[in-house]
Structure 1
C-alpha cells in the first residue's frame, strides 16, 4: 500500500521562487486530495495508480482555485499588484499543463478525458452561480449546494472507478466532506467584512432580511458596525456552527457504514479537524 505524500510531490510544481515572491496561491486542496487517495489506495484495482491520479487531480484543482483568485478587472496599474495578477494566470495555466503532462506520459488518455469533462462541468457550475449572484436570485441553500458541487466535480469523475468496491459510498461521502469543508470555511468568512460579501451569511440575510437590511448589505463594506449588527441579529455564526455540528455527525454515521476498518480509520483521521472544531464550539456565541 502506498503512503500519502501528495503535497510533498506537488511542491516540485508549486514552490517556484517567481511565484512565491510575487503572488499568493490558494491553499492546497488537502482534504479532498487525501480523501481521493484513501479510496483509490484501498481499491486493489487502482492502488498502483492512486498516487498518479490523486496528484494530477490535485494539480487541476489547484489550477482552478488559482484562476479563481484572478481579479475580474485588469485595471490595476500598480506594478506589484499587476505582476501578482499575471502570475496567478500563468501559475494556474502551468498547473493545468502539468496535469496533462503527467497523465499523458503514463498513457492515461481516458483519465485526461474524464478530468477535462469535469473541468467543463466545474466551469458550467461557476457560471450558474455567478449568474444567480448577479441577478440576486441565489438563496443561502443554493449557495451551499452549488459550492459543494463545484468543490466536488473533479473528484466525482472517479465515481465509476469506485462503484465496484464502494457502491455509492464515494460520491455521498465526498459531498459530505465537501459540505463540512464549505461550512468550516464560511465560519471564518464571518470574521472579515471584505470576505463576508457573497458568503453564506450574506445570502441568508439577503433572503430573510428587510428591504432596508438588504440595502445595508450593498452599502459601504467598510461599515463593520452596521454589518456586525446584521450578523448578530440573524445569528449567522451560531447557525454555521450548528450546521457544521449537524453535518459532521451525519458524516460520522456514513463513514461507520463502510466495510473496511482501515478506510474508516483513515476517513475519521481526515475529518478530525471538523470534529475538534465542533467540540470547541462555545456555548454562547457572541457575534460582534
Structure 2
C-alpha cells in the first residue's frame, strides 16, 4: 500500500465513546509516524509490512503519551476528574497492548522484541530526566537532548531493518527530525504562560538568568506577569526559532544524502511545518 493512511486506521482503536466522553487523549504522533512510513515504504522488502509496522509504533507511542498525561497523585476526588484519570491509565494500557496483538498476529516476534526494548529505554530516560528536573539539575541543552531521545526511541527500533536500504541514515535523520519537532513544541510553549514551567525557556533562564530571576523560577507558584517579562527579556521565542532554523537546515542536509529522489522529496514536504515557522524555503524543495 503506497498511500499514507495510518491516522485513519488508528481511529478504530482510539475513537471509543467511553474515552471521547470522559477523557482527552494526546495528539496522534503524526509527524514521526509519517517519517517512519516514508522510509519503510521506500524499501521494497519492507513495503508489505510498512503499514503494520508504522501503525504498531504509533499505537505504542500514543500509549506512552497517554500515560504521561496521568497526574502523579490521585488527590482529586471529584468523580469526573477521577474517571478521566482512570481512563487515561486504561487507554494507555490498551494502546500499548494493541501493538503486541497486531505484530503477534502477523508473526513479527522480532519486532515485538525491538519495540518492547525501546519502551524500557524510554521509561529509563524519563526516570532519569524527571529526577534531574526535580533536583533542578538540567541545562536547556540537556533537557532538549533528553526530550529528543524520548521522542526517538520507539522509532529507532527500526534502525536494524532499515540499514540494508538506507545505511545508517535513519538514526541520524530520525533524531534530527525529532529535535525539530521538539523545538517547534517549545516555540508554542514559549507563547503560553501556563506551559512555561519545565519548558526549554524555563531551563534556559534557570541556567543563564540573574540570581533573582532564578529564585523566581524556583517558587511553587509563578507570577504570570513576571514570567512574561522574563520570556521577553531573554528572547526565548526568537532563540527557539533560530535553533529550529539551524536544525531544519541540518535535517535537510542529511536528507539530501539519501539515494532516492522520491524519498528526498517526501521528507522535504514532511518538514514543511518547520519551514513555515522559520520562514526559510530550501532550494532543493523549490526545485522538486
Q: TM-score, normalised by structure 2?
A: 0.95
Any idea what the Cα deviations from partners look like across 1:23-55, whole Å, max 9, x if unmatched?
Answer: 110000001100111101111111111110000
2:133 matches 1:155? no
Instruction: Output one character per residue of 1:143-192: Cα deviation in whole Å (capped at 9) or x when no partner.
Output: 00010000000000110111111111100000111000000000111122
Q: Deviations over 1:50-98 (max 9, x none)?
A: 1100000000000000000000011111111111111100100110111
Q: Does 1:223 align with 2:223?
A: yes
Structure 1: distance between partners of 2:27 and 2:139: 27
After TM superposition, the structure 1 stretch with the greater mean CA deviation from structure 2, 48-57 or 249-258, is: 249-258
After the TM superposition, which parts of structure 1 deviate over 6 Å for at least 4 consecutive aligned residues? none
Post-superposition shift, 1:249?
1.3
Q: Hey, what does 1:249 align to over in structure 2?
A: 249
- Residue 47 of structure 1 is matched in structure 2 by 47
Residues 90-116 of structure 1: CA deviation (Å, up to 9, x unaligned): 100110111111011111111111100
| Cα shift readout 1:194-235 (whole Å, capped 9, x = no counterpart) | 210100000001111122111111336452111111111111
Give the Cα separation in 2 of the matches to 1:84 and 1:137: 32
Q: How does 1:204-283 map to 2 (within 5 A)?
A: 204-219=204-219, 221=221, 223-279=223-279
Q: Which runs of 5+ in 1 are unaligned?
A: 281-288
Q: Which residue of 1 aligns with 2:170?
A: 170
Unaligned runs of 5+ in 2: 281-288
Deviation, structure 1 residue 277: 1.7
Q: TM-score, normalised by structure 1?
A: 0.95
Q: Which residue of 2 aligns with 1:65?
A: 65
1:193 touches 1:221 (CA, 8 Å); kept in 2? no
Counterpart-to-counterpart distance in 2, 1:20 and 1:74:
21
CA distance in 2, matches of 1:228, 1:193: 7
Whole-angstrom CA distance in 2 between matches of 1:58 and 1:155: 9
Q: Counterpart of 1:128?
A: 128
- Structure 2 counterpart SS, 1:72: coil
CA contact (8 A) 2:216 2:222 kept: no
Number of residue pairs matched by the alignment: 280
Do the aligned partners of 1:180 and 1:244 also contact (CA within 8 Å) in 2?
yes
Q: How far, CA to CA, are the matches of 1:96 and 1:122 in structure 2?
A: 13
Q: Please tell me whether the aligned partners of residues 103 and 111 of structure 1 are also in contact (alpha carbons under 8 angstroms).
A: yes
